[in-house]
Amino acid sequence: MNFEIGKNLLDKTSADVALVFAFESKKSYKLTPAVDVLDLALKKSITNGLDFENFAGKDAEVFSTFTNNVIVPKKIAVVGLGKKEELTPHKLRQTVAKFARSLNKKVNSVSVALLDDVKISHPEQVQMIAEGFLTGSYRFSEYLKKEKTERELEAVIFTGVAAKEKKETEERFAFVQMVYGAVKLARDLINEPGMKVTPEVLSKQARDIAKSSPQISVQVYNRAQCEKMGMGAFLGVARGSEQEPQFVHLTYKPKSTRNKRKLAIVGKAITFDTGGLSLKPSKYMVNMKLDMSGAAAILGLFSIITKLQPEFEVMGIFAATPNVISANAYTPDDVLRAMNGKTIEIINTDAEGRVTLADSLSYAVKQGATEIVDLATLTGAMIMALGEDYTGLFGNNEKFKQEILAAYKKSGEKVWEMPLPQEYKQHNKSEIADVANLASNMWGGAITAALFLEEFVDETPWVHLDIAGPAFAEHNNELSPKGGTGHGVSTLVYLVKGDLK
């Protein structure tokens, strides 16, 4: 998909569909000036049509009509944005994403008139609209014979960009394309079945990324090497599978060594979660290819990190294995020893994420991380608490929590802070080991899981993001079709780079 700055007004811009916006107002709808112009040219067939259809300008409401060659675009689509005072950048992006998804596959090009007289600047509108088109048009069509042959939307042409806005607009085009490339990589990795995206496929991906730049290096440890490092927790989970477990450590180094910060980003990387011997019921096993979404976000970020050029070192760390069954699989009552020496009593083999993360976090600490943020599709309880769209944020350090929350605010991805009450730690106690992998009570499962992770970060400032809900859309949602969403990629971009325009 290409983005272009149109040279003409909308009625003279060649495109299959001209997209214009309308707002909801007290009595009915309120058209933007761009629509008025078209309506005049089309002898009121837009307003007549809107009235006939009782169009109200509500969020994502769409009215479309053919122009019968009276003006250059073939079709006009009027899209509602709700109340003008309530318009936010994210709402604009969301509305466009939904519109993009609804477009007929025959549509090759769309022109769009930017809004005047709203609080969002033209370049920011361009960014939101462009992101909306890309994220909304994503399809995972690898296995669909039909879709593969269908065309994608080729061009989006923006009209109303002033000469002095041109440079910034073009920068935004490039930024949006770059971030979307990373999101798409994450989505594709998640959407591929676990039997295809094996631990070795994930480590190969990391190796390929490292090959692309001298600023990125990667170390990959196999079963024997993990054993040497004392990763008994990760290897416990990996025992049931014949696939070679892969512990991946990506490093991005800045050009200057002045900044001593060393940020570790840790991801859960279970390529498929059957639950292990504590087997998941069939209904709950479906979609468990999503369980490597944390690692997918890391790979997405690293695929563009040299374009971002953060000023400090960034480590991407994940322990990849499926959680499956064989005669060799780890069992309830097992006691595993993590890399930091702590022992873990296994109560439930389906609480495997925290067990693999125990070693990933210990490793990050040992590598001298100055801060650790982890992304993990960790608990169903998180989805119970916040629903499908929100990530739960936990942490042991106020300043670092605020930094991550600020990055979330910039990306527009949804997050909600959760408590980390030390008095709940007692629920993770084990009689025979330092900690149990399942809480003894049934409440607040996302919190007790987070408290378990805290056992492995020492005093390092740490934030845990339970992305179990937003990592995977069970149905088409605002910004993505059903499947992996790439949640976290955009937030990580803003985290390592702050404001990038």
Annotated active-site residue in 75, 204, 280, 414: 280
Question: Which range of residues in 247-255, 303-311, 362-370, 373-381 is near ligand BES by CB under 6 A?
Answer: 373-381
H-type alpha helices, 138-217: 145-149, 166-191, 199-211
Q: Who contacts 228 (Cβ-Cβ below 8 Å, separation ≥6)? A: none
Burial class (CB in 10 A: 0-12, 13-18, 19+), 151: exposed
Question: 183 or 190: whose CB is closer to ligand BES?
Answer: 190
Q: Which residues pair with 416 in a beta bridge?
A: 392
Is residue 466 near Zn ion by the rule CB under 5 A?
no
Question: 89 or 380: whose CB is closer to ligand BES?
Answer: 380
Question: 76 or 325: whose CB is closer to ligand BES?
Answer: 325
Question: Which range of residues in 126-134, 293-301, 346-354, 427-435 is near Zn ion by CB under 5 A?
Answer: 346-354
- Angle 297-299-301 (CA atoms, 0-180°, nearest 5)? 70
Q: How far apart are CA 116 and CA 122, in angstroms?
A: 8
H-type alpha helices, 7-88: 33-41, 45-52
Question: 17 or 473: whose CB is closer to ligand BES?
Answer: 473
101 has catalytic annotation: no
The entry of ligand BES, Zn ion, none that residue 345 binds, CB within 5 to 8 Å by partner kind? none
Q: Considering CB under 5 A, how many residues would be counted as binding Zn ion?
A: 6
Q: Which residues pair with 194 in a beta bridge?
A: none
Least separation in angstroms between residue 350's CB and ligand BES is 4
Least separation in angstroms between residue 185's CB and ligand BES is 20
For 118, 178, 236, 312, 402, the CA distances from 501, given in Å and listed in that order, are 20, 12, 45, 19, 21
Taking the CA atoms of the chain, what radius of gyration do you get in angstroms? 25
Task: Give the total residue count for the chain.
Answer: 501
Q: Which listed residue (381, 418, 450, 451) binds ligand BES by CB under 6 A?
A: 381
Q: How far apart are CA 261 and CA 248, in angstroms?
A: 20
Question: Which range of residues in 29-37, 117-125, 351-359, 470-478 is near Zn ion by CB under 5 A?
Answer: 351-359
Least separation in angstroms between residue 158's CB and ligand BES is 38
Site residues for ligand BES, 269-308, by CB under 6 A, read 273, 291
Q: Who contacts 207 (Cβ-Cβ below 8 Å, separation ≥6)? A: 218, 220
Least separation in angstroms between residue 106's CB and ligand BES is 36
Is residue 358 near ligand BES by the rule CB under 6 A?
no
Least separation in angstroms between residue 139's CB and ligand BES is 22
Question: 39 or 466: whose CB is closer to ligand BES?
Answer: 466
Q: How far apart are CA 14 and CA 397, in angstroms?
A: 54
Q: Which listed residue (110, 210, 351, 355) binds ligand BES by CB under 6 A?
A: 351
Q: Which listed residue (134, 365, 438, 457) binds ligand BES by CB under 6 A?
A: 438
280 has catalytic annotation: yes
Is residue 392 near ligand BES by the rule CB under 6 A?
no
For 23, 68, 80, the CA distances from 13, given in Å and listed in that order, are 23, 15, 22
Q: Which listed residue (350, 359, 374, 403) binds Zn ion by CB under 5 A?
A: 350
Phi first, then psi: what are they for 44, rounded to 5°? 65, 15
Q: Which listed residue (377, 411, 485, 490) binds ligand BES by CB under 6 A?
A: 377
Question: Assign residue 220 a region: left if phi > 0, alpha if psi is -120 to 50, beta otherwise?
Answer: beta
Between 221 and 260, how does the x/- string for binding to ligand BES read (CB under 6 A)?
----------------------------------------
* Residue 249 and residue 222 in contact, taking contact as beta carbons nearer than 8 Å: no
Q: Which listed residue (300, 445, 461, 486) binds ligand BES by CB under 6 A?
A: 445
Q: How far apart are CA 369 and CA 266, in angstroms?
A: 11
Catalytic residues: 280, 354
Residues that bind Zn ion (CB under 5 A): 270, 273, 291, 350, 352-353
